[in-house]
Amino acid sequence: MDTIGYDEKDTTLRETPVAGPVDSPLALSHPPEPCAVVLFGVTGDLASRKLIPALYDLACHDVLPLGFSLVGYGRKALTGQEMRVLSRDAIDGFFGTGTAETRTCHDMLGTVSYVQGEFDDPEGYRRLSDTLDQLDASKHTGGNRIFYLATPPSLFPVIIRRLGEAGLHQGGPAGTPDEHGENRGWVRVVIEKPFGSDLDSARALDAVVREAFDERQVYRIDHYLAKETVQNILVFRFANGIFEPIWNRRYIDHVQITAAETLGVEHRGAYYEEAGALRDMIQNHLLQLLTLTAMEPPVAFSADAVRDEKAKVLDAVRPIPVERVEQFAVRGQYVQGTVDGAVVPGYRQEDRVAPDSTTETFAAIKFLIDNWRWQGVPFYVRTGKRLPRHTTEIAIQFKRPPYLLFKDTDVPSGRVPPNNLVIRVQPEEGIAMNIEAKIPGPAIRLQPVAMNFSYGSALEELPFTAYETLLLDCMVGDQTLFNRDDQVEEAWRVVSPILEAWRNAPQKGLTVYESGTWGPEAADTLVANDGHTWRRP
Ligand code: BG6
């Protein structure tokens, strides 16, 4: 077997902390406290592609807490040594061969251990509890635990129940007891998406969570919220005085939110068949972008104040009547076509996809928000796989000037195009304001130009990936970037009528689009009915 410099019996981890005190530009106002991170689903895709590399990179940035331990929990009979090899391969796979030779990686691997157990076997959780107690003593993890559920969603309820039954909803003994004889570390549970598959299942899962954990302990993931550009939406809106006065129905005509991917469903056919674009992207990521764009200023930049305002937006989204879903929602499925110069197969030809599948790989929805700020302003959202470009953006389209002063100008359409402000979430992260300018010369001729802010040139490199940000926030106990129970349930309420209509008539309105195009024609009709056209990012 591959070895990485640890004695097979040496599952004792380092005595010394992973990271020293922080004195870098990334210094945190609240450095994370010592803790153990328990990964359920440690042999899965998410753990190896995102989570283990993210923890390693946090160690490289010197921001992992003093006293840290990574514990894998899973069904497979792995030794501690094998778990370290798995972690090392994940780090090498992400950062390139040879990374494992670095001192930081060596230190990081020294914190890694493994507990084998079935997900529904109480005995496994007792072993996990014992291991965590031992790590409190040997690794100084302070009785603090993060349980990260990176398993298939069907396992979430059983893991949460068993954690509660094993008493793992409360932390281990920590330091000197207080006057009540109590002094325990904290416990946080991180739950990956999808959180439920509809409103009923999300409510049922919340009920299970509430039996074992307090809402303050629960961190529901939406990795879009941790993207720097997404966090910047609030700074852009509320740290600059000039936008808020025009951020409303008087000046804004409509909003377009696009998340386009060139990839197909890859190896995730089985999952995607159950999900589809509406559940996979719109119920979570795109509705989050919508709430950040539309929310009122919070009274403070605190988790609850921000989440209160976001929840109010979802609450104000006008319910779409099931019998009128076709007027508000469009779906499509990709067929063979050309993306990035290569011929790609259609969705029904993908691995683990039914040859007669009716799952949508593209969805476009028109939402209306019933409040004073947004009355009458459509928010169009669309997402799709196998589109021509990989891009996520929020485009705020302003109203046209009320009167065209430059009547003799040769504006191609005969009308001056409206200004728009485009927040480029990814790639080429930045913000562009598109305005009309005069083309130099004796005649008055207009041309749209962009005032462009680009992260790449204006600011330092983005320090953390989304998962690093989320892990760090969880360690410091900041829930701002995580979804609260009411938000998740409201988001399911918003998409429920569409899910219901599409479930009741799986073929109705399902059109196909060629891979490498911008989705079905019906999506263009959806906005054209309101006199609009989609941007071509
Ligand atoms: C995930 C979806 O949540 O987000 C995927 O399940 C999608 O289908 C991915 O590809 C997109 O994330 P990103 O960060 O690449 O835009």
List pLDDT tens digits, range 128-185.
999 999 999 999 999 999 999 999 999 999 999 999 999 999 998 876 666 666 788 9
| pLDDT for the residue numbered 26 | 52
| Contact between 318 and 370 (Cβ < 8 Å) | yes
Q: What is the DSSP letter of 135?
A: H
Which protein residue has the closest C-alpha to ligand 1 atom 5? 280
CA of 128 to the centre of ligand 1 (A): 32
For residues 74 and 80, give the distance between their C-alpha atoms in angstroms, rounded to a whole number.
Answer: 12
| pLDDT for the residue numbered 413 | 59
For residues 384 and 223, give the distance between their C-alpha atoms in angstroms, rounded to a whole number.
Answer: 18
Q: How far is CA 378 from CA 66, 249, 294, 516, in A?
A: 49, 10, 11, 27
For residues 523 and 526, give the distance between their C-alpha atoms in angstroms, rounded to a whole number.
Answer: 5
| Position in ligand 1 atom list of the atom nearest CA 263 | 10
Instruction: Look up 285 and say whether it is catalytic.
Output: yes
For residues 60 and 154, give the distance between their C-alpha atoms in angstroms, rounded to a whole number.
Answer: 34
For residues 449 and 277, give the distance between their C-alpha atoms in angstroms, rounded to a whole number.
Answer: 34
Which residues' Cβ are closer than 6 Å to ligand 1?
261, 280, 392
Dihedral sign from CA coordinates of 270, 275, 278, 284: negative
Give residue 284's pLDDT band: very low, low, confident or very high (50, 70, 90).
very high
For residues 256 and 436, give the distance between their C-alpha atoms in angstroms, rounded to a whole number.
Answer: 20
Q: Pairing between strand 510-514 and 329-335?
A: parallel
Q: Pairing between strand 112-116 and 68-74?
A: parallel
| Position in ligand 1 atom list of the atom nearest CA 284 | 3
Give residue 124's pLDDT band: very low, low, confident or very high (50, 70, 90).
very high
CA of 282 to the centre of ligand 1 (A): 11
Q: Can you give the length of the chain in residues?
A: 537
Give residue 485's pLDDT band: very low, low, confident or very high (50, 70, 90).
very high
Give residue 462's pLDDT band: very low, low, confident or very high (50, 70, 90).
low
Which protein residue has the closest C-alpha to ligand 1 atom 14? 224
Residue 101 has pLDDT above 60, yes or no: yes
Q: Spell out where 95-244 has E strands.
A: 112-116, 145-149, 187-191, 218-220
For 385-416, the pLDDT digits (tens) are 999 999 999 999 999 888 778 776 766 556 77
Half-sphere exposure for 65 (CA within 13 Å, toward CB): 26
Residue 293's H or E segment, with its range, is: helix 287-294
Q: Which of 61, 169, 223, 285 is catalytic?
A: 285
Which protein residue has the closest C-alpha to ligand 1 atom 13? 224
Residues 6+ positions from 433 with CB-CB distance below 8 Å: 419, 420, 421, 422, 450, 451, 452
For 339-387, the pLDDT digits (tens) are 999 999 999 999 999 999 999 999 999 999 999 999 999 999 999 999 9
